[in-house]
Amino acid sequence: MRVDARKVVTVLFCDIVGFTALSGELDPESLRHLMSRYFDAMKGVLQHHGGTIEKYIGDAIMAIFGVPRVHEDDALRAVSAAAEMRRALSKLNEEFERNWGVTILTRTGVNTGEVVTSDASRGDSFVTADAVNVAARLEQAAEPGHILIGDTTYRLVSNAVVAEAIPPLTVKGKVDPLRAWRLLNVVPTAPGWGRRLDSPLMGRESELAVLEETLQRSAQTRTCEMVTLIGAAGVGKSRLGNEFLSRVSPRVRVVTGRCLPYGEGITFWPVIEVLRDIAGIDEQDSPDQAQSKVSELVEHRDDAGLISERIASLLRLSDSTTSMQETFWAVRKVFEEVAGHGPLVVVFDDIHSGEPTFLDLVEYLVDWMRDVPLTLLCLARHELLESRGAWLTGKANASLLHLQPLTQPETTGLMQNLLGGADLVDEAHSTITDIAEGNPLFIEETLRMLIDNGSLQRVNGSWNLTGTLSNIDIPPTIHAVLAARLDRLEEEERSVIERASVVGRMFWWGAVSELSSQEQRAQVGSYLQSLVRKELIRPDHSETWEEDAFRFMHILVRDAAYGGIPKATRAELHQRFAHWIETKNPRGAGEYEEIVGFHLEQAYLALAQLAPTDA
């Protein structure tokens, strides 16, 4: 079991304002009841959003998002939890006022950063780092009733929040002032970050042609056709889908729904979004108004009453309950009714996050829809095939469309478009191309990070460097995606990929075995093949030492895996790998002296960072 690990998490501190005075106002027994109600309510909110309560400190709560498992939206979960805690306290205060004649206020700080986590069962604090201290400082600086979020957190959630910048904070223990934001509101179901730089779609003409042909075939033959667009995070699935929809929406009806990564009652959430769109139901409609709109959809059918009743139950417009089969049937009937009046395109996004029952519904629609022009477009990451390996295989009306990285010319064109046609200095172009490896999101986020931190500045119509790019950090948005992907691996797979990351972008089976524990070595080959199937690594040709070699699918995957290893462990592994090279060359390192030297240097640097006074 990995006892210690380095992770980027989001820390939430929440403290009651004026607790000492409150303690003096209430009888100890009443205070105990009040605090129990408060802690129970806050705990429920935090756990609903996936937070782990690390400790209670008097009347303060410290919670971590990213332990035990990292999610790419941990920052958004934490901010959403903070906002909901504030709303929950408002309701609690009505009860407190009624029962004890008091109300309470809190202040909250939220911050994202790298920490070291350990096993809480060991009895020590299982999250330690400066990021924790900064969250506490933000909480202390917040005014009563307010929530302050750190700058990194804000960058990860800016698309989903309403927040205002406050003057930089001067806090104890920090030389430089802290940038912070006052959280005003969170937009429900919105993704934490979105596109800020923009560009016309680059490439993808062949994929667009496939989607166009699928729609045309569905319209001409009046059949249900489905395409699942599969690709890595950031490769451009949503961008391609949006381009396709913009081209066809003038002549067909388009409705969309997105699977949510967590929450209560999310099984049919994407279907609910689609049905509300089809019926024209908005947030202001009362349950009766919404139910009336559902009935109007199918009012000319003999079974209209039964369909309406079951859809109303699905949309939570009534207290009636329906079986899974009845729900599936009613959804199909609505789709058949709408598509019967003209071609219908239904888009389900992020179905890799979909619940098994929802995926069963999609398969049911593919099998049972008849005599109407319905096109289903599903967008998913490779993780879908890990849980649903036989996804729609063998169905004549369903296909998988794998989205590949951009080519070199397409990458160059995308960068030019994102920068408004301005020239980019060669060093920056080359570095970003090497880092992004054709992934549009990685290109955009790396450019955005370099512009935001001042490394790239526009001078006389060209983008020039203000310093060196020899060591670029992974943009926080990309790191969140990759770290969450790695954290879903089995413990043994995670151990193997971390040891591979110590070797480098390309690594050897024998080297990974040598760096693994004695008990794990016999299974290293199986774990490597599992990582190949999950498209994190791929076999690579090597004639060195007559060893089978592999290569990380993306350099940033390697960097994220390496970043999760504690520095003391890194040092040990670098030393062991250097020794492995030397044993492969009993007459001396020879041509591999530079590699041996590099790994010994990395071992030294890791230890020096842990004890800088001894370096």
pLDDT digits (tens, 9 = 90+) for 330-342: 999 999 999 999 9
Predicted confidence (pLDDT) per residue in 84-102, tens digit: 999 999 999 999 999 999 9
**Within 315-355, where are the H helices?**
324-339
**What is the sign of the dihedral through the CA atoms of 236, 242, 245 and 247?**
negative
Question: What is the band of 122 on the pLDDT scale with cuts at 50, 70, 90?
Answer: low
User: For residue 414, which of 254, 588, 124, 203 has the smallest C-alpha distance?
Assistant: 203
User: For residue 199, which of 372, 23, 440 has the smallest C-alpha distance?
Assistant: 440
The CA distances from residue 429 to 233, 433, 451, in Å, are 22, 6, 13
Distance CA 228, CA 226 (A): 7
Q: Is the pLDDT of residue 59 over 70?
A: yes
Q: Which CATH class is domain 5-186?
A: alpha beta
The CA distances from residue 55 to 24, 58, 106, 116, 120, in Å, are 24, 9, 17, 16, 11
Distance CA 337, CA 307 (A): 11
What's residue 586's pLDDT? 64
Query: What are the tokens at 491?
Result: 């413990």
Domain positions in the chain: 5-186, 205-402, 408-477, 478-614
- Cβ neighbours around 23 below 10 Å, total: 12
**What is the sign of the dihedral through the CA atoms of 365, 367, 372 and 373?**
positive
Stretch 248-257: mean pLDDT: 93
Predicted confidence (pLDDT) per residue in 426-464, tens digit: 888 998 898 889 999 899 888 888 888 888 888 888 888
**Within 73-230, where are the H helices?**
74-100, 130-141, 151-157, 205-221
What's residue 199's pLDDT? 77
What's residue 472's pLDDT? 76
108-117, 183-192, 219-228, 266-275: segment of lowest average pLDDT: 183-192
- Cβ neighbours around 615 below 10 Å, total: 10
Question: What is the band of 1 on the pLDDT scale with cuts at 50, 70, 90?
Answer: very low
User: For residue 332, which of 379, 367, 284 has the smallest C-alpha distance?
Assistant: 367
For 297, residues 6+ apart whose C-beta sits below 8 A from its C-beta are: 278, 279, 334, 337, 338
Predicted confidence (pLDDT) per residue in 489-533, tens digit: 999 999 999 999 999 999 999 999 999 999 999 999 999 999 999
What's residue 89's pLDDT? 96
Q: Give the global pTM.
A: 0.86
Distance CA 466, CA 458 (A): 10
User: For residue 227, which of 418, 401, 27 has the smallest C-alpha distance?
Assistant: 401
Say if residues 380 and 351 touch (Cβ distance below 8 Å).
yes
Stretch 407-432: mean pLDDT: 89
Q: Which CATH class is domain 205-402?
A: alpha beta
Q: Is the pLDDT of residue 414 over 70?
A: yes
Higher pLDDT among residues 390 and 65, named by residue? 65
The amino acid present at 89, given as its one-letter code, is L
Provide the percentage of residues in the chain whose pLDDT is more than 90.
68
Q: Is the pLDDT of residue 128 over 60?
A: yes
Stretch 210-233: mean pLDDT: 96
Distance CA 47, CA 44 (A): 5
What is the overall mean pLDDT for the chain? 90
Stretch 27-36: mean pLDDT: 93
* Residue 198 φ/ψ region, left for φ over 0, alpha for ψ in the -120 to 50 degree band, beta for the rest: beta
For 234, residues 6+ apart whose C-beta sits below 8 A from its C-beta are: 439, 440, 441, 442, 445, 478, 481
User: For residue 14, which of 81, 91, 99 has the smallest C-alpha distance?
Assistant: 81
What's residue 448's pLDDT? 86
Verify cis geometry, omega within 30 degrees of 0, for the bond prior to 191. no
Question: What is the band of 55 on the pLDDT scale with cuts at 50, 70, 90?
Answer: confident
Phi, psi angle pair for 217, to nearest 5°: -65, -40
Radius of gyration of the chain (CA): 27
Query: What are the tokens at 39?
Result: 């802690």
What's residue 194's pLDDT? 66
Architecture of the domain made up of 478-614 = Orthogonal Bundle (1.10)
